[in-house]
Amino acid sequence: MEVQILSRKLIAPSSPTPPHLQNLKVSCFDQVAPSIYLPCIFYYPADGDQNNEKRSKEMEKSLAETLSLFYPLGGRYIKEEFSVECNDMGAEFLEAKVGGFLSQFLEREEREQSEMASHLVAPLFQAESSPLVMVQFNMFECGGLAIGISIAHRIADAFTIGTFISAWATACRIGSDKVHCRPSFQLGSLFPPKQMPSSSTGTAPGTDIKIIRRRFVFDGHTLSKLKAIARDGDSEQLVKHHPSRVEVVTALVWMALIRVAQARHGHLRPSLLRLTFNMRGKTAMTTPDYSCGNFDAISTTTHDCARASSSDDIYSMVSSKVREVGEALGEDSVDTFIFSCWCRFPWHEADFEKNEEKD
């Protein structure tokens, strides 16, 4: 399937950012985030009465309105100053035509579909002074849509991205006045930039790397069996709580990766698992409900996070974990695997489809 870019434009916030908000210092967590975009793709089947040109205009208008709330996302990142210049230069909005039907694309084998999906979103690596939000509105021949949204990881973690997309979808579907979340951008003042160790997990823009995507689906019955196996196998009751779905799947995948490494090298090797998780609401330190930016921890336990009651406590905890991962990545004899979980984020609320009966 061929993807042809039809148009490219910048969508500025509908309301100008006030002068006192035009420079936003990022947090110490933002400064170590990799220079990549985090991509999401939302698929919509063809509707007999669907007018994609009208839908595109509605998305542009609601994007402008949402950028007024999430005003830093309409600006540009200034690496040397650890800040975002909230200059209202806007998000990039692309319209693209895709050859073939959406149903044909979704029915393709996983490997072929994965390779094709990379053309439905913006590039993974972020150049300096690039837009922080890039949207690709893909129109299939059948009238189906694929909306690819990429947001710079430098100023947004999965929670921020999910909150922004959910707010935008609400604005597009039923109007910006129905968006109830009010994002906060105070993390930079609570956790100002510091000299933090590099985790060496980012890759310089332009670096030629190979990314392979694979999807493995675990249904409810399989997850229940995995949880039962984990409980029954813990005869010494080393685990004091019932494992979650994420924990059992992570453990299974990690075990498989360890065995792959053993087969490749001919012996068992030390293995380190890095799992990031959302710290909002998990520390003794109070932060705004919709704190936007990067506020993830590299976790081996939630105990330290629960005890952290100040910005210095949290900084010390995270920098220690970052240093540990960085040292492990520098060891050729240690296998390091990075996991993340996007569960419990508002992805299901990210519905751009209008319900005409309620309008």
Catalytic residues: 153, 351
CB 300 within 8 A of CB 320: no
Sheet holding 271-278, edge to edge: 296-299, 271-278, 335-340
| DSSP 3-state of 229 | helix
CB 24 within 8 A of CB 86: yes
Report the phi/psi class of residue 118: left, alpha or beta, with left for phi > 0 and alpha for psi in -120 to 50: alpha
Kind of pairing between the strands at 76-78 and 37-44: unpaired
End-to-end CA distance of the chain: 35
**Closest by CA position to 113, among listed 47, 45, 41, 46:** 41
Contacts of 279 (CB under 8 A, 6+ apart): 295, 296, 297, 305, 314
> What 8-state DSSP symbol labels residue 348?
T
